[in-house]
Amino acid sequence: MAYVIGVILFALAILISVSLHEAGHMGTAKLFGMRVTRYFIGFGPTLWSFRKGETEYGLKAIPLGGFVKITGMTPLEEEEERVPESDQHRVFWRKPLWQRTVVLVAGSVTHFVLGFLILWILVSWVWAPNPAYAEEQDRARDSTTIAVSECLAADGVCDADSEPSPAVDAGLTTGDSVLAVNGTTVDDWDALVKAIRPLPAEEEATLTVLGADGEKRDVAVTPAAVEIEDEDGRTRTVSQVGITLYVDPSIPVSMTYGPVAGIGAAADFTGDMAKLMGEAIVRLPEKVPALWNAIVGEERDPETPVSVVGASRLGGEMVENDAWVSFFLLLASLNYFVGVFNLLPLLPMDGGHIAIAWYERLRSWWAARRNKPDPGRVDYLKLAPLTYMVLVVMVGFTLLAVTADIVNPITIFD
């Protein structure tokens, strides 16, 4: 039941975000006196609507987005021809370039504000990674001091039926420092891991240990074979003894900043997300084969894109496992991604309309400098083939992602 509630909540949050995106366009257009005739949530047949002033507001049957109708946004709109002469100055393209740019950017800005607001609330009062803990982890990796795991459970949760880890059986204790593995000196955590993983499973090995009491001793330990997933997503079998990196337990993993310091922390978080999203957008084309492979039965690459369906399913998993911080981090990152993606200079995205508006201004300026007549507005009909091609690619990619999210979804909890 919690899973279903999570799916519905995340899908509803996405719909609200899109609705606010369109409200951003509408609000700024009305602010500048533009003629806004329709604002609808959803697509398809109208379920309910009402009119206030010159604008019709309503809900449509397919809740997969929304739209706002601003007269004169493109030369293809016949509605502009029905505008009274007294209102012609309110048509979109007749407004100053800076006002048109603000209206077009407002949708993405709304997503950025939502994403930042979510992060600010999280880091101010709920959760934020503790930089001191990250520094302590880096320091700990330069040593070979260990923490002993009670068992080798994949999820790290031990119960009464769990077998003790080899480290427990061997008498290793948290705070010990491993100096050598089978006589080979190890100087840091990475070297220790590389020395243990290739050891033959179920065969006794010798660890030279410096105890927390300063006493040096040799410890006989029998590694166990464990399956792990490497950085390439491939599963392989390695040896483990049940030890982890020792990090000072007095340093908390997370913290909160409060409302004032939280602004800077949220900004830093946003910068990190922007870098990751930029890399993700650049890598989108190379993920197409991986999505197709997931559909035909191969293991799903966790780094492949997800659709609204996949994101909602992940949201459901997070609620089911009480991972609310992850739920809102995913929602914030999705808002940022949609905001950035919508500014790409391609029609039918807002970024495409912005690019055309500025191109028109540059072209008019250049014509004036050469004493040539103003070439006027760009012919959108000539751009129709490119627009349709972009739409086909977007729809195809979306269908591919939706299909993969249905038949072979990404999961983050076992």
- Is the residue at 297 inside a domain? no
Percent of the chain with pLDDT over 90: 63
pLDDT value at 262 more than 80: yes
pLDDT value at 153 more than 80: no
- Is the residue at 112 inside a domain? yes
Do 186 and 101 fall within a single domain? no
**C-alpha distances out from residue 2 to 293, 317, 324, 410, Å:** 30, 8, 12, 18
pLDDT value at 162 more than 80: no
Mean pLDDT throughout 29-46? 94
Do 144 and 206 fall within a single domain? yes
pLDDT value at 294 more than 60: yes
- Is the residue at 224 inside a domain? yes
Q: How open is the CA angle 289-291-295, to the nearest 5 degrees? A: 115
Please tell me the total count of domains within the chain. 2
Q: Give the pLDDT of residue 163.
A: 80
Point out the domain boundary residue: 227, 245, 263.
245
pLDDT value at 315 more than 80: yes
Do 193 and 225 fall within a single domain? yes
Mean pLDDT throughout 282-308? 85
Do 160 and 83 fall within a single domain? no
Q: Give the pLDDT of residue 155.
A: 62
The whole domain housing 221 covers 134-245
Do 120 and 9 fall within a single domain? yes
Q: Give the pLDDT of residue 297.
A: 81
Do 98 and 208 fall within a single domain? no
pLDDT value at 181 more than 80: yes
Do 8 and 121 fall within a single domain? yes
**pLDDT bucket at 84, cuts 50 / 70 / 90:** confident
Do 95 and 163 fall within a single domain? no
- Is the residue at 281 inside a domain? no
Do 227 and 162 fall within a single domain? yes
| Range of weakest confidence among 40-49, 159-168, 368-377 | 159-168
pLDDT per residue as tens digits for the range 196-227: 999 998 999 999 999 988 899 999 999 998 88
- The residue assigned the tokens 């005739």 is 37
Positions marked active-site: 22
Q: Give the pLDDT of residue 233.
A: 59
- Is the residue at 200 inside a domain? yes
More confident residue, 261 or 227: 261
Percent of the chain with pLDDT over 70: 96
Point out the domain boundary residue: 187, 220, 245.
245
Q: How open is the CA angle 113-252-259, to the nearest 5 degrees? A: 30
- Is the residue at 382 inside a domain? yes
- 293 CB-contact burial (10 Å; exposed 0-12 / middle 13-18 / buried 19+): middle
Do 116 and 20 fall within a single domain? yes
Contact assessment for residue 198 and residue 239, using Cβ atoms and an 8 Å cutoff: yes
Do 104 and 164 fall within a single domain? no
Contact assessment for residue 390 and residue 348, using Cβ atoms and an 8 Å cutoff: yes
pLDDT value at 64 more than 90: no
- Is the residue at 260 inside a domain? no
Residue 129 CB contacts under 8 Å (≥ 6 apart), including other chains: 253, 254, 255
pLDDT per residue as tens digits for the range 134-151: 999 999 999 999 999 988
Mean pLDDT throughout 308-324? 92
**pLDDT bucket at 154, cuts 50 / 70 / 90:** low
Mean pLDDT throughout 9-19? 94
Q: What CATH number does the domain containing 154 carry?
A: 2.30.42.10
Mean pLDDT throughout 296-300? 84
- Is the residue at 276 inside a domain? no
pLDDT per residue as tens digits for the range 318-375: 999 999 999 999 999 999 999 998 999 988 899 999 999 999 999 999 999 999 998 8
Q: Give the pLDDT of residue 268.
A: 93
Do 8 and 120 fall within a single domain? yes
Q: Which of 145, 117, 152 is nearest to 209 (CA)?
A: 145
- Mean pLDDT, the chain, integer: 90
Point out the domain boundary residue: 210, 245, 280.
245
